[in-house]
Amino acid sequence: MTGNAAARAAIEARVAALEATWNEHDAVAFTEGFAEDVDFTNVFGITLRGRAAITASHAAIFKGMFSASTLAITETCIRFIHDDIAAIDARWEMTGARDPMGNPWPKRHGLMSMIAAHADGAWRFVVFHNQDLMPPERVAEIGKALGQARG
């Protein structure tokens, strides 16, 4: 499946909204693109179920460890599984965060892997996994040593 241009644009807009609302530190707006019954796993491996739980969690972290953070989505890849279901990988970088103990967190790199479904006229994330990654230069070094390219 390749999806159509309108679907691809709507998903790209949904991903761009994640970045914008994160940088506004607005938990309600950040989770607007999530389905009510979404399954969400954060970079610490903590799983939350449902938009309300994710909104509450992000309201707390936007007041705490991520209050001065800036998120930049650097690359997005969309694969349509069906006309109304898409898998999305979005690579990101973050600055200005603090770790859970309150210490400055060096520049971070990560990957959001999401499944989005189209229902009731909108694309929404139904599964969302976020993970920290090694810096890109380290990933490239390991990929080269293994004879593999980063996809």
Q: Is residue 95 part of a domain?
A: yes
Q: Tell me how far CA of residue 43 lies from CA of 40, 113, 117, in angstroms.
A: 10, 11, 22
- The count of structural domains within the chain is 1
CA 81 – CA 86 distance, rounded (Å): 5
Q: Which two structure tokens, joined as six digits, stand for 106?
A: 């060096």
Predicted pLDDT of residue 3: 63
Q: Is residue 56 part of a domain?
A: yes
**CATH code, 60:** 3.10.450.50
pLDDT digits (tens, 9 = 90+) for 12-25: 999 999 999 999 99
Q: Which two structure tokens, joined as six digits, stand for 99?
A: 């770790």
Q: Is residue 94 part of a domain?
A: yes
Q: Which two structure tokens, joined as six digits, stand for 97?
A: 């965060």
pLDDT digits (tens, 9 = 90+) for 83-136: 999 999 999 999 999 999 999 999 999 999 999 999 999 999 999 999 999 988
Q: Is residue 151 part of a domain?
A: no
Q: Is residue 66 part of a domain?
A: yes
Q: Is residue 57 part of a domain?
A: yes
pLDDT digits (tens, 9 = 90+) for 111-120: 999 999 999 9
